[in-house]
Structure 1
């Protein structure tokens, strides 16, 4: 089957007519995408509001299923855990209750980074709308394509942060919460006495708030004869988990945290009081006991759904623009 144009047009005139038609189609699409851009900006502003530090925040339950090893609640406001009380019945430490210090809240690094990405995305759309609001040109279409590519990367990173790592996150060795975040402070490793410590590590995975509690012991700590005998005759058992019998380098000191009222990115290593201007000190430790607790966060689940929907809308707009511009690499 063939298509004939009647009356016949000379090849030179046909090329001019095709170019003019493609330009009109591109101009029309750029104008039509203005509404899509406004919808994307409004949707991102709704996502931004879900992370806004507004009282009273989200109170989340922390509880291990079918037992009471961990039982308590924490409150998240924006990207910070501002208060909480958690009862612990760990096997390797005395039973205790820890309380988050309201004067020194815990900053969740994934949410802090997400907050920055959302701010960047909204600013990007504001700039794009102001530039493309004038009569469309070939330059404005190319600018729009580049801006949408940057926005797509930002949304992909945001969704990845909410999904979290697919495997065990090794950053707990340098980003566990500082003892100063708790009342009383968490027990920490003391090399002369070779005592155990508690690592408190919060992260995000699949829109859930995940708490990892680890009992740490220096790798060079001596094993008492009674412990060896109990393990040998079977009266005591080692606690089995995926990090058992592995040596980790755990940072015990770093620069102290300082945060202004605007939420900033927290430092990468846990903090001990009085460690100003000290270099991070790493010691080798074993993880004697590991407990994972997950808590569903409705705001984060809603945020993931909204960002995913916005990502689909953006992908469709990019494919349409790429098809009209003849950029076949973006059509896949």
Structure 2
């Protein structure tokens, strides 16, 4: 994954699985368009885990739904490209996307109880997409479902196959969702807050399971989360979003060691750290702006402790830091100007 502008279109990389360029997603309400994702661009290489982080309302899940083709009116991708294995998903029909959804790209949703149909057995919900995408008969699809339940460490898979969602615990339902997402051998797995609704012990088990399956299947994962501990545990690279835009991205080690955007610094300062003794955490002041009233200039400037005049009047461009680590911020320019002025 590399940060790029929407205009920069390098030659295709054979290791590249997904290329997003200038993705803009809007909700068209009462003759007014509200922008939820604003011109974001990034690359995703085969076999890596990329985390998308940020507060609620920053555009993480809408980015995932845009890639998956799961937006419902009034939401739609208004511009940009989503190139997956060379095909622009933004231009495909609903019928063409159905061949990709759950097959080449799968998604684990935040709350499995609301994602599973309460009126159908787990087995039915596992078997149907397998039959549709892999063209297997009833018996073969059932055996594939049981195989996937065993792969995700589900005890008594035959009994689970015959159960209804409400008969399972939260951790078991999440394992079912992972089994369902992996059943057709996708190239890309999008996990939207996959451990949020689970207790700490089950969270650790699910994350360990995802790591094992990623290593075994050489699968690419987009992990959407607000939990920076999960990011440090799982991700190779990190995308930080704020106000529908990407504000910083880079490899996990570099970004955690040298967070450069004030928003990223705020996220890390508000997270508990066992290696640092703090009397209290330092929350980011203020709240995420509503989509209908985004600030001019840098969208973070009303909450930024380092904001100055230019932050209010002009939107910052990308700044290359080092080793594939970039951010959108005016501070480097301000520091450089200050050094020049003071000799």
TM-score range, shorter chain: under 0.3
Which structure's CA Rg is the greater one? 1
Q: TM-score, normalised by structure 2?
A: 0.20
